[in-house]
Amino acid sequence: MKPLLAVRELVTEIGGARVVDGVTFEIAAGETYALLGESGCGKSMTALSLMRLLPDGGRARSGVVELDGENVLALPEHAMRQVRGGRMAMIFQEPMLALNPVMRVGEQIGEALTLHQNLTGVAARREARALLDAVGVPDAERRLDSYPFELSGGLRQRMMIAMALAGQPRVLIADEPTTALDVTIQAQVLDVLRTLRSERRMGMLLITHDLGVVAENADRVGVMYAGELLEEGSRAAFFASPQHPYSRMLFEALPRPGDGGRLATIPGQVPRLDGTQNGCRFAPRCPHVIDRCRNEAPTWQLIGAQRVRCHRAGELPDAARCAETDRKTAGERAEPLLQVDGLKVHFPVRRGLLQRTVGHVRAVDGVSLAIEAGRTLALVGESGCGKTTVGKALLRLIEPTAGSVVLDGVRMTRTTVDHLRRRAQMVFQDPFSSLNPRMRVADILLEGMDALGVGAARARRDAVARLLEQVGLPEDAGGRYPHAFSGGQRQRIAIARALAVSPRLVICDEPTSALDVSVQAQILNLLKDLQAELGLAYLFITHNLGVVDYLAHRVAVMYLGRIVESGPAAEVLRAPRHPYTQALVAAVPHIEARAGGAVPRLAGDQPSSIDPPAGCHFHPRCPHASAQCRETYPADTPLGPEHWVRCHWVAAG
């Protein structure tokens, strides 16, 4: 059967660097082809080459990209405009950057409808609403008049999908469509893409670094490294037995349920592509390298149903995950280092000329938790549930409305902020935004020590050198600026900054959400090592339950400002009791095949915290909701030592 999209020997250059080098693959109608690999491997540049949207200085130097038999690389630009967004469309990785912030949703979708379907006015608005309905946007008519900043991350991503579908494309390119989305929204977005692909018989190029997403959505898989494809095969064959050492090391870096041992990492980094490439490009990082690998570039070999580019293909031992076990044990319960009781953060909603308060956003509404020294409490939940606000309120980066916070025996008030900042620090989600781009790394680390008077002034420079070594950064890192580092290295700088004042508690806000699996493994190993070495307590804020299972001792599940289930990590994740926790666990993509057929998905979106539902806040989305759930908020129901849940259905059962 003739492929819908055929890419043959594609070579793309940017400023003399071959960012895509001889890539060949095909996509059939109704098929999803996943392109997998670390950041910097050339995945997104491949997609931009297909769309002819390369940055300045970039060009497709050679190769063929055939869409329905027509080479789009040979088309003049005016003809390419009809292909781009029409016959071939793209969902970009970060919708907030790809969308126009000063145009309403309906206007942006309407532009695509006017260009590709000649629709204007009422007809364009009607079709735009139908597209939003098709991608599962609730209250679509009202959303047409919203601006992108008024939408949640999941709704913005669905809006991007609707815009991509406006031209009725034959091929849809999805570039990291679920990066940084929480698991329930990710599951909804991926369900939408699967349904649309099936209904419209579209071909789909799915670009991701998430093996779980690949396992549940792809038909065929291509593994990319340093501009080249290294391995290609069906999803079943690839996940049953990855053949290339790089593919195997990506699997090794994944946190596995119940395994608290050290994660395997891939040493080094993806090589720069602005010089001559000799031999296998993965050779400097490969544990199975031989002399031939360094001197001779491997050609394709066929191993069963898989193609692989490796000199040692077929010789390597069977893939197996070998990791020491260091399972989390409950042990004796020590006195809490951090004790939080009844924490509330309410933001006033002001309207009118006089800006009168007409309501409150109940971002955090009565949260209580405790963390012991040397232990990790994971705070999980969907985006917008209040997790980050809890972390900021504990450090008084946001002033709490009510509640008490006791750290190391001292109650936190306005007058004890210096004590708090010495003993508790935060690692923010995006290190590039949280690090001053105009300061060198050494000055960034010194800033906190100087402000809080940590140590003698002459000893602080030596402390900076020790910190850099402690987090695995090179000696010369102190003299460089944040932009000179990779994402994983910047996260290490953020961790070093938090450690600079010798805290006892570190609040980690989504520290691995946008990192490749290999870099994520390095950061998780580092956090675990630091905890063992320094006795740190962690409040780990995340939506990645795989990371929680690996790192956390206890889990607190948050919904609409309140904790609905809390307990030991193994109990909460293996046998969740609250329907919301069950939905979160069910939404996590798995690389192993699931038993029992279709996975139940959480319906709807999280209600507004300005006007939360009466009774149990979760009842509008709960499959077990009763009249009691709609009227009264449930009390704590103990399920065992340290495990409790707030749910009428569980209490009645």
Q: Model confidence over 326-384: pLDDT tens digits? A: 334 344 456 899 999 999 999 998 888 888 888 888 999 999 999 999 999 999 998 88
Length of the chain: 653
Residue 587's closest CA among 257, 254, 185? Answer: 185
How far, in Å, are 76, 79, 108, 489, 536 from residue 508 at the CA level? 50, 49, 36, 16, 12
pLDDT digits (tens, 9 = 90+) for 28-49: 999 999 999 988 899 999 999 9
Q: How far is residue 155's CA from residue 143's CA, in Å, rounded to a whole number?
A: 9
Mean per-residue pLDDT of the chain: 88
Q: Which residue has the higher pLDDT, 142 or 565?
A: 565
DSSP conformation letters of 573-641: HHS--SHHHHHHHHTS--SSPPSSSSPP---S-PPPSSSPPSSSTTGGG-TT--HHHHHSPPPEEEEET
Least confident of 201-210, 395-404, 411-420, 528-537: 411-420
> Which of the two residues, 598 and 242, has the higher pLDDT score?
242
- Say if residues 506 and 427 touch (Cβ distance below 8 Å): yes
Answer yes or no: is 151 within a domain: yes
**pLDDT score recorded for residue 204:** 96
Average pLDDT over residues 435-439: 93
569 with 634, same domain? Answer: yes
329 burial level (CB within 10 Å; 0-12, 13-18, 19+): exposed
Q: 419 or 442: whose pLDDT is higher?
A: 442
Query: How many C-beta neighbours within 10 Å does residue 304 have?
Result: 13
DSSP 8-state symbol, 566: E
Whether 580 and 535 map to the same domain: the answer is yes
Same domain, 12 and 118: no
Q: What's the whole-number mean pLDDT along residues 425-445?
A: 89
Dihedrals phi, psi of 163, to nearest 5 degrees: -65, -40
Predicted confidence band of residue 321 (pLDDT cuts 50, 70, 90): very low
Which pLDDT belongs to residue 646? 96
Cα 615 from Cα 525, distance rounded (Å): 42
pLDDT of residue 434: 86
If asked whether residues 371 and 248 sit together in one domain, one would say no
Task: Name the burial class of residue 91, with classes exposed (0-12), middle (13-18) and buried (19+) by CB atoms within 10 angstroms of its CB.
Answer: buried
* Mean pLDDT of the region 461-475: 87
Q: What angle do CA 197, 185, 594 make, to 5 degrees?
A: 70
pLDDT at 226: 93
Distance CA 586, CA 578 (A): 12
Q: What mean pLDDT do residues 259-274 have?
A: 78
pLDDT of residue 332: 46
- How many distinct helices (H) and strands (E) make up the chain? 24, 24
pLDDT at 331: 42
- As a whole number of Å, the CA-based R_g of the chain is 26
pLDDT by residue (tens digit) across 570-591? 999 999 999 999 999 988 887 7
Q: Is residue 474 assigned to a domain? A: no
> Which of 207, 233, 256 corresponds to the end of one domain?
256
Which one is predicted more confidently, 305 or 297? 297
Indicate if 132 and 120 belong to the same structural domain.
yes
Indicate whether 636 belongs to any domain. Answer: yes
- Interval 602-620 mean pLDDT: 86
Residue 523 maps to a domain: yes
Average of pLDDT values for 125-154?
A: 86
* Nearest residue to 449 via CA among 437, 459, 439, 440: 459
Q: Could you tell me if 38 and 176 are in contact, meaning their C-beta atoms sit under 8 angstroms apart?
A: no
Residues 411/470, Cβ–Cβ less than 8 Å:
no
Of 135, 165, 195, the last residue of a domain is 165
Tell me if 634 sits within 8 A of 622, measured CB to CB: no
Confirm whether 347 is domain-assigned. yes
CA-CA distance, 622 to 348, in Å (whole number)?
Answer: 29
Residues 534 and 601 in one domain: yes
| Short-list 19, 5, 213, 12, CA closest to 89 | 5
**Which residue range forms the structural domain that includes residue 58?**
1-87+169-256
If you ran DSSP here, which 8-state letter would residue 299 be given? P
pTM of the predicted model as reported, rounded to 2 decimal places = 0.77
What was the pLDDT predicted at 259? 61
CATH number at residue 519: 3.40.50.300
Residue 496 inside a domain? The answer is no
Domain match, 158 and 229 both = no
Are 536 and 568 found together in one domain? Answer: yes
Domain identity same for 47 and 185: yes
Chosen domain end from 222, 256, 290: 256
User: Rounded mean pLDDT of 527-551?
Assistant: 90
Q: Has residue 46 been placed in a domain?
A: yes
Residue 430 located in a structural domain: yes
* Total number of domains constituting the chain: 3
Q: Would the pLDDT of 648 be above 70?
A: yes
pLDDT for res 489: 86
Residues 114, 247, single domain; the answer is no
Residues 374 and 412 in one domain: yes
Strands 562-568 and 643-646: antiparallel
Q: Are residues 511 and 625 in the same domain?
A: yes
